[in-house]
Amino acid sequence: MKEPEEILKPESQHFIEQAIEKDLSEGKNGGRVHTRFPPEPNGYLHIGHAKAICLDFGMAEKYNGKCNLRFDDTNPTKEDVEYVDSIKEDIQWLGFTWEDREFYASDYFGKLWDFAVTLIKRGLAYVDDQSAVTISEQKGTTTQTGNYSPHRDRSIEENLDLFFRMNEGEFEEGSRVLRAKINMASPNMHMRDPIIYRILKTPHHRTGTKWKVYPMYDFAHGQSDYFEGITHSLCTLEFEVHRPLYDWFVDQLMDSDYRPRQIEFNRLNLTYTVMSKRKLLELVKDAVVSGWDDPRMPTLCGLRRRGYTPESIRRFVDLIGYTKVEAINDVSLLEYAIRENLNERAPRVFGVLKPLRVIITNYPEGKTENVELINNPEDESQGKRQVPFSREIYIEQEDFMEDPPNKFFRLAPGQEVRLKGAYIVRCQSLKKNDAGEVTEVYCTYDPETHSGLPLADRKVKGTLHWVSAEHVLDAEVRLYDRLFNDEDPSGHKDKDAREFLNPDSLAILTGCKVEPSLASAKPLDKFQFQRLGYFCVDYDSKAGKLVFNRTVSLKDTWAKLNK
């Protein structure tokens, strides 16, 4: 029971919720909350985007508003439809919907063009004929003000004429740009007559060859927000310095009380991985990983293939919160989130990764009995299943030691152990190969100790998982570890993240043995291999050739003791 005080205590709100509620209480924008998620279709979504998605869609949901999906497709040289589809799939997978509000910045190219023309007519924009380097040099530095372009005071007529001809394809790429006339002496570099249109002759994935000029991000984003009636434009911290420019354009556009507002929050960084699209793309291109959906990638498709659930990702995002502090979040919290989720939903099964043959010498040859096992002790509704048991079984190599240390609760010569759901067995002898490796272990069982019988309650130090040798299915199991050995591989000034790649991030195990109930397992099905961890069926898996990915291991205090 909660104390009354606790119930009354308001949930603490993060700074964005506070800002939204303040706007609402002041009656801004007619009490509407309307957000947008604005991905550029130039790569796959990663868990950092999930943080933004949860906020954009989450705030809309919380305040009875809407959230648009808007592709920020203003640069045809980098963007592609391939990415549009994957982005939509990933957002839906996370459990969010934009209903019929799927928009593109390119939907507004006409309006944006008109707005640019208006700015020219108001004397607030001009065509500059200078080269990129000259413009850049003239811009000054962070400590020195910039200089005026010689074309800054062209006549409105000449600007209009040039701008139209730019779009007719009359000029080469890079030969002319349209600039906003703001302030070359501004301490904010983004206000020093920013370029708002450039000539690009690459066909656009939606508008084809209709346009020869394309708006820059700063000239498209805020305006798109405005056109869509967005009230809260939530983005990451690095856009903080863009805000004055965002507001400047909105000022020129406004014709009522409505105005969109940009608020910035901290992006998600995860330990032992990289998050920039560029770096992820490099890993894919250089075949460091098998693709965007390699289970070691922090992409949503990678995490999905690894066995992460949408719930676990949303829970994780919820746990880390939104602030303005640039933080680096511990992967162990992500792992906590998936363990917590899978613990309650994943059925338990027996799978042996590195098999060791065990022969129960006093168990009748040729006999098979079915043993009943609980599918999930955390969820009775998942029921029970039958697992075959027989004279020859496999156990985990790690569960046997010829010469064990003190606290080893598993099988060893002369020691007793419980075979989960079956019998208590005692190790009598073993067989080794020429290399001195144990190849077979001989045990005797006590028929009176079958699970459920009174004598089964005898205290035994350890309980092992097992599979009946005659009934097993062969499987391949892929064990994943962190992609980088360094907590913050991108955080070294003079070192490339690639120098910290973990050479052991993938271990492929073949000849693994799993229980027969797994025969019909389909890709993305999730299981707990008892005592080992959570595993997910890979897309490569086929009937007769099962492939599992290890999502995350179980917490292993025994392994920790041995460190």
Residue among 288 and 554 whose Cβ is closer to RNA: 554
Q: How far is CA 510 from CA 119, 232, 353, 477, 525, in A?
A: 66, 52, 8, 6, 19
Residue among 14 and 545 whose Cβ is closer to RNA: 14
CB 236: neighbour CB atoms within 10 A? 15
DSSP secondary structure string for all residues of 246-296: HHHHHHHH--SS---EEEEEPPP-BTTS---HHHHHHHHHTTSSSSTT-TT
Instruction: Tell me how far apart the alpha carbons of residues 33 and 22 are, in angstroms, rounded to a whole number.
Output: 12
Residue among 93 and 217 whose Cβ is closer to RNA: 217
Burial of 274 (0-12, 13-18, 19+ CB in 10 A): buried
Single out the catalytic residue among 101, 111, 259, 267.
267
Beta carbon of residue 332, minimum distance to RNA (angstroms, whole number): 5
Q: Which residues contact 462 (CB under 8 A, 6 or more apart)?
A: 399, 409, 410, 411, 417, 418
The alpha carbon of 95 is separated from its chain's Cα centroid by a whole number of angstroms, namely: 14
Residue carrying the six token digits 């659930």: 309
- Torsion angle defined by CA atoms of residues 487, 491, 496 and 501, in that order, rounded to the nearest 10 degrees: 10
Burial of 67 (0-12, 13-18, 19+ CB in 10 A): buried
Instruction: Tell me how far apart the alpha carbons of residues 207 and 183 are, in angstroms, rounded to a whole number.
Output: 33
- Torsion angle defined by CA atoms of residues 161, 162, 166 and 168, in that order, rounded to the nearest 10 degrees: 30
Residue among 493 and 522 whose Cβ is closer to RNA: 493
List 533's β-bridge partners, or say none: 529, 553
State yes or no: is 240 an active-site residue.
no
C-alpha Rg value of the chain to the nearest Å = 31
Beta carbon of residue 347, minimum distance to RNA (angstroms, whole number): 9
Beta carbon of residue 451, minimum distance to RNA (angstroms, whole number): 2
Three-class DSSP category at 447? helix
Single out the catalytic residue among 17, 21, 32, 40.
40
Beta carbon of residue 343, minimum distance to RNA (angstroms, whole number): 5
State yes or no: is 40 an active-site residue.
yes
State yes or no: is 277 an active-site residue.
yes
Residue among 50 and 294 whose Cβ is closer to RNA: 50
Beta carbon of residue 246, minimum distance to RNA (angstroms, whole number): 11
Single out the catalytic residue among 111, 152, 165, 277.
277
Q: How far is CA 369 from CA 178, 363, 390, 453, 471, in A?
A: 80, 11, 7, 15, 11
Beta carbon of residue 366, minimum distance to RNA (angstroms, whole number): 24
Start-to-end CA distance of the chain, whole Å, equals 41
Residue among 294 and 387 whose Cβ is closer to RNA: 387
Beta carbon of residue 131, minimum distance to RNA (angstroms, whole number): 5
Residue among 250 and 294 whose Cβ is closer to RNA: 250
Length of the chain equals: 563
Beta carbon of residue 51, minimum distance to RNA (angstroms, whole number): 10
Residue among 305 and 531 whose Cβ is closer to RNA: 531
Catalytic residue list: 40, 267, 277
